[in-house]
Each structure stands twice: as C-alpha cells, then as structure tokens.
Structure 1
Amino acid sequence: MKTPESVLKKEATQAKIQKAQAEATTAATAQGVADREAFAKQAQTYQDEYAAAEKAAVDNRRAAKVAGGFYVPAEPKLALIVRIRGTIGVSPKAKKVMQLFRLRQLHNATFVKLNEATIRMLRLIEPYVTYGYPTRATVEKLIYKRGFGKLHKQRIAIADNTVIQEGLGQYNIRCTADLVHEIITVGPHFKQANNFLWPFKLSSPRGGFSSKTKLLHFLEGGEAGARGDEINKFVKKML
C-alpha cells in the first residue's frame, strides 16, 4: 500500500525540525564551552589586575616610608549604602534622596558612585543609613549571595551568566567577573550595571543593635552615618 503524500510531507517536516533542533543544541553546547573558557580567561585577567594594583599600593607605601614621607591612596570612588531606619519622621527631602538611591525598604543596600553631588546627598540622609567603602570581597559576596538582576522590569536571580548577558551584554558585560569589575572600578558603564542590579535585601545584623545606637552617629558609638572601611564588617553580619 502506497504511503499517502500528506504523511510523507509530515514525516519530512518532522525530520527537518529534529535536525534543526539537534544542530541548535550542538551549536549552543559549543558556544557554552567557548563562553566558559572566555569567562575564565577574563576572570584571570581581572585577578592579575587586582593583584598588580595591590602590589603597587604596597610598594608605594614602602617607598614613601623609606623616603620618610607618607603614601596617600586615591580617594574612594565607590560607596555601599545600607538603610538602617524606617520611614517614621523622615523629612520629604531625605525620603526623596533615599528613593533616588533606591533604598525603599529597611536593610536595603545599593552601590553609589562618589562625587560632590552624591556626597552631599549622603550627608542629608545620614541619620537613616550607614555607608562606607566596600572591598572587592564584599562586592563579590553581595552579588554572588544576594544578587538579583532587573530584566523586563522583573527581579531575576543571577543564577548564571545568561542573566547578565541578556541585561548587560550590549555593554560588553557578559559574566559575573565583568559585573564585579565594572562596579569595583566604577567603569564607564557603572550606571547601567548598577541599575541592572536590584537593591540587595540584607538580613538584620547578627546580634542586632539597640534603638539608641541606631540614632547615634557611628563616630559617637552608634550605627548611622559614614563608617569608612568598617562597612565591610557590618555587611558581613547581614549576609
């Protein structure tokens, strides 16, 4: 019995679809392997860059000490802000600044590029936040442990590099190492990278803090305001 022509056409179409799917799977697998190799190589490049910068800082401090002088490092370009108080009693201006910094909820944390304007804004909201200069390790932990990206106005966990590629690939930020590097160095696409990152939702600090210390400035034994490098210890208790 002769097979109907419609059946033959259907089988041919299915075979064509299966072949295309197999080719797409093979290509995707090959691309994935190539991407992983490229990302690993890029990450190593960044590690070498960080190591060279640290070595240069140590060498400069030693040279300054030998010469009888002091080594003054460059001014920090990046700050990490953590909201530690609620909205009760917040002035409209301070509330607006916290909205601009995307600190809409208690224990939210965001990065900010330091310049004259943002420093003035930070001083305005000092009673409600604490901030300082994050290390590379802190930035990495925040992104790896609490990192969520904004894709199509949705909060998507950064479970793999495809999320970063889709959101920031156009800026040549394709993997977590690229994202961390762009944030740490406050690179040319810092604004896009920072806006891609959803505000970090941190936990209440281990051990907590009393209502009295919340109201006092860090320099007075409290929690609020600028705390320099000590922000890294504070955030570690909240991860």
Structure 2
Amino acid sequence: MGYLKAERTAKRIKQTILRTNITDQSTKAAEDCNPKLLFVMRHAGKKIFDKTTSDIFRTLRMPSRHNAVFLENTKENQLLLRVIEPYVVYGNPSLSSVRELVFKKGFARINGKKTAIQSNTMVEEQLGEKGVICLEDIIHEICTVGPNFAAVNQFLCSFALSSPSNGWQKKVSVSYKRGGEYGDRGAAINELIARCL
C-alpha cells in the first residue's frame, strides 16, 4: 500500500504548489504523467489498404476505430507509432485518466473471451502469481510501467472508447503539432480521454 501513501503525498505537494501559484496547470498535468507510459487511440482509417499499417494495428490490438491501448514508451513503440501516426492520437495519461479508463471501460481477456472485470478475485486468479491482486494494483502497474506491465496489459482488452463529445474540433488529417488532431499530444491526451469516456 506504499504507493497509495506516495500518491497522497504527491497530491498534497501539488495542492501546496497550486496555492502558492508557482506552476501553471500544464506543468501540473505533465508532473502527474509518467513519460514512460503512452495511451494510444486509433481515431481514423476505417479501411486501411496498406498491409504494414494494418499489421501494426493488429499487433497493437487496435483493429477498429476508437480502440485504445496502453504502451510502454520504448524506441520500438515510437517507431511503430511513427508509421501509424496519421491514424492515431497518443500522449502521456495521468493517474486519474488511467483509473477512469480501467473502472469505466476495462475488460479482461480470460480464456480468449472478453469479460467484464467483476471482482478483485478475478484479478487475483489471473495475475496473483505476479503479485497483482486487485484493480488498484493493475492501475499502479500501468501508471508506473512496472515489471508486470506486459502481463497486466495482456490481461486487459483494448479499450473501446466513444467518439469525443463535441466531436473532433480540428482537422483530423493535420497533426496536433500543426494545429490538427492526430499524433502526439503529451499531457493534453487527458482532456481527450475525458471527452471519450
């Protein structure tokens, strides 16, 4: 339970900083995110005619639009993202976004079937030997990109999100850095996650 204490302390420090107005909102959001963790959501490409791109989507478990997954921010994954960038939005999710996603949209893959996560017992049966026995452990493992990140990620199905409320507000065919929608949005991904839940 050490991480819950650490989380509380981090919250308290943030509150203090906010009260003294040392940092602005964006730095606060960035502090809350682990740069080693990426949340990737496919937003386009109903039909993809390029085999490499469709293979990457299959590997990443994002066969259709609005599918989303957590990825470790590695060189290999950065390379894959570069190939599929025009079809995805991604960034560094905050702890609260990860928690919302797991609680509201989290499904487990058990014996090849997509199953609603109904209890911590279910988590313990599948991931107990890795020391992951409840939903909070899953959230912690994802947020910290811990040693059991891959196992936890395999246990979770890819997320099926809704279209963002108020729709896509900018051009989806233009990259985020140039004022559009697709590509890397860093900590700003959290605002989009909230609109898709």
TM-score, normalised to structure 2's length? Answer: 0.85
Match of 1:98 in 2: 57
Match of 1:173 in 2: 132
Deviates more, 1:200-209 or 1:135-144: 200-209
Deviates more, 1:190-199 or 1:216-225: 216-225
Report the Cα distance in structure 2 between the residues aligned to 1:156 and 1:107, rounded to whole angstroms. Answer: 19
User: How much identity, in percent, do the aligned residues show?
Assistant: 34
Report the Cα distance in structure 1 between the residues aligned to 2:49 and 2:187, rounded to whole angstroms. Answer: 27
Q: Of 181, 188, 196, which aligns to 1:230? A: 188
Match of 2:177 in 1: 219
Q: Of 107, 117, 133, which aligns to 1:148? A: 107
Task: Give CA-to-partner distance per residue, 1:13-41, whole Å, 9 cap, x none.
Answer: xxxxxxxxxxxxxxxxxxxxxxxxxxxxx
Give the 5 Å matches for 1:1-239. 42=1, 45-53=2-10, 76-209=35-168, 213-239=171-197
Task: Give CA-to-partner distance per residue, 1:171-205, whole Å, 9 cap, x none.
Answer: 11000111100000011110000010000110111
Residue 54 of structure 1 deviates from its aligned partner by 5.8
Report the Cα distance in structure 1 between the residues aligned to 2:138 and 2:99, rounded to whole angstroms. Answer: 9
One-letter code aligned to 2:180:
G
One-letter code aligned to 1:213:
K
Task: Give CA-to-partner distance per residue, 1:81-134, whole Å, 9 cap, x none.
Answer: 000012434421121111111111110110000111111111111100000000
Residue 169 of structure 1 deviates from its aligned partner by 1.0
Residue 223 of structure 1 deviates from its aligned partner by 1.2
Report the Cα distance in structure 2 between the residues aligned to 1:117 and 1:238, rounded to whole angstroms. Answer: 27
SS of the equivalent of 1:235 reads helix
Residue 162 of structure 1 deviates from its aligned partner by 1.6
TM-score, normalised to structure 1's length? Answer: 0.71
- Which runs of no fewer than 5 residues in structure 2 stay unpaired? 17-21, 23-29
Moved over 6 A (4+): 55-59, 72-75
Report the Cα distance in structure 2 between the residues aligned to 1:221 and 1:192, rounded to whole angstroms. Answer: 36
Contact 1:164 1:174 in 2 (8 A): yes
One-letter code aligned to 2:185:
R
How many pairs were matched up?
185
- Which runs of no fewer than 5 residues in structure 1 stay unpaired? 1-41, 60-64, 66-71
Q: Which structure has more RCO (C-alpha within 8 Å, separation ≥ 6)? A: 2
Whose Rg is larger?
A: 1
Q: 1:175 to 1:75 in 2, by over 3 A?
A: closer
Give the RMSD, CA atoms, in angstroms: 2.4
